[in-house]
Amino acid sequence: MKIVLKIIGALLLLVVVGVAVLLLFFSTPEVPEAVLMAKYGQAPSQFLALPSGTRVHYRDYAPATGDSARTLVLLHGSNASLHTWEPWAHRLRETMRVVTVDLPGHGLTGATVEADYSPQGMVEFVESFTRALGLKQPFVLVGNSMGGYVAWRYTVAHPDRVSRLVLLDAAGVTAPGTELSPPLAFRLARNQLTAPLVRHVAPRSLFASALKDVFYDKRLATPEMIDRYWELNRRHGTPDATLARFRLPRYEPAMMARLYEISVPTLVLWGREDALLPVALAGVYARNIPHVKVIVYDHCGHLPMEEVADRSAADVRSFVESKE
């Protein structure tokens, strides 16, 4: 028995020493905020203080044709930033006002005063942000992945604030027989044993692998894009916010049961080759939202607004400008 205990003790010691060595020699340093601001926070970026004291990073593209009655608010996905919407912003701003924002725990908004990174906390953030921005008329709300989950939950909670809803490969739902295949980085961050290690050891290669997983055309995960994701996710406070978010359930059955309450016209866009959220999940929205149209893009992954920017932006323009 003593020999067994000694072996177990030795193994535990090896594990502790191994972790210590990893942290000592491979710990990923934070990126100073001044560096991030200089690189990613210049014009057209703007910053807005919410009543809570949280400082929000956003971009507000006025339509090239002058005033427009249509305003789009775009919400990005997990571990992304408002930069993911740049292809759409430059295509849609000709006739619409396009507002993009870094959600709590992301980008240059980063950790918030509220420290609430739950879906409901994100919904409350969107309400506070859009009010502080002065959006009084109903706007078109758009969300990708995690941002899609936030967008449809916001629409359920504030139906009078949303005129139309656009969901791109949106999270927050499940279906029998559907298996999710998150990137290795996400699996490690969700695992109770490896999450503390990922908090301190997050090599660039981990982000490169995760980004290549979201595209059908792997070449779109450029070195510049990988650098941006890696650097913004190493801002002070962001790793802790990420781990707090990953400890939460991926979906809530009680909220899924309320999809039918969405009464505004809804457009669902999906990449057929999405390796993170299978295209079968588009059917959940099609079956449960009363006024919905679904478009599926071939040879496209998790980010239609980047991978098929021309086609997806044209589809959104047609949807938003439709009188139906």
What pLDDT score was predicted for residue 10? 39
CATH number for the domain that contains residue 44: 3.40.50.1820
What pLDDT score was predicted for residue 19? 35
Least confident of 97-101, 131-135, 251-255: 251-255
pLDDT digits (tens, 9 = 90+) for 2-34: 564 445 543 433 333 333 333 333 468 999 999
In a shared domain, residues 26 and 42: no
Least confident of 136-150, 162-176, 191-205: 191-205
In a shared domain, residues 243 and 260: yes
In a shared domain, residues 16 and 92: no
In a shared domain, residues 260 and 316: yes
In a shared domain, residues 42 and 10: no
In a shared domain, residues 17 and 69: no
More confident residue, 293 or 1: 293
What pLDDT score was predicted for residue 197? 75
In a shared domain, residues 80 and 11: no
What pLDDT score was predicted for residue 20? 33
> Mean pLDDT across the stretch 260-283?
97
Q: What is the pTM of this model?
A: 0.89
Q: Report the percentage of the chain scoring pLDDT > 90.
A: 78
Does residue 307 carry a pLDDT above 90? yes
Examine residue 44 and say whether the peptide bond preceding it is cis (omega within 30 degrees of 0).
yes
Number of domains in the chain: 2
In a shared domain, residues 160 and 15: no
Q: Which residue range forms the structural domain that includes residue 253? A: 33-321
More confident residue, 251 or 23: 251
The sign one gets for the Cα dihedral 167, 172, 178, 184 is: positive
